[in-house]
């Protein structure tokens, strides 16, 4: 029993080697999968991308935001009591 407890350093070196081999195998498998997926994706021309963005902008359901403080625009006022100068 004493020999097994003292010789545990060799076991950790073996387990570290197995862990390194498993990590290397998983990394290489991931690299191969990424390479296969990149080659199988169809190439999309840049003109189609621009057309898709323009079509999406035309289908947008909201109007573009406007600056209420731009020159020539009156300031929006909340409804309320009439001012004394406008009553007379």
**pLDDT tens by residue, 8-24:** 555 577 788 889 999 99
H-run or E-run covering 64: none
How far CA 88 is from CA of 82, 84, 85, in Å, comes to 10, 7, 6
For residues 75 and 68, is the Cβ–Cβ distance under 8 A? Answer: yes
pTM: 0.39
Q: Is the pLDDT of residue 42 over 90?
A: no
CB 88 within 8 A of CB 80: no
Query: At residue 56, does pLDDT exceed 90?
Result: no
Q: Would you state the pLDDT for residue 88? A: 54
């Amino acid at each position: 029993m004493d020999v097994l407890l003292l010789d545990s350093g060799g076991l950790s070196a073996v387990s570290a080697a197995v862990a390194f081999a498993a990590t290397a195998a998983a990394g290489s498998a991931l690299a191969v999968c990424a390479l296969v997926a990149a080659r199988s994706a169809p190439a999309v021309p840049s003109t189609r991308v621009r057309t898709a963005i323009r079509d999406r902008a035309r289908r947008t359901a909201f109007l573009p935001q406007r600056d209420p403080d731009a020159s020539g625009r009156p300031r929006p006022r909340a409804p309320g009591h009439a001012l004394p100068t406008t009553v007379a």
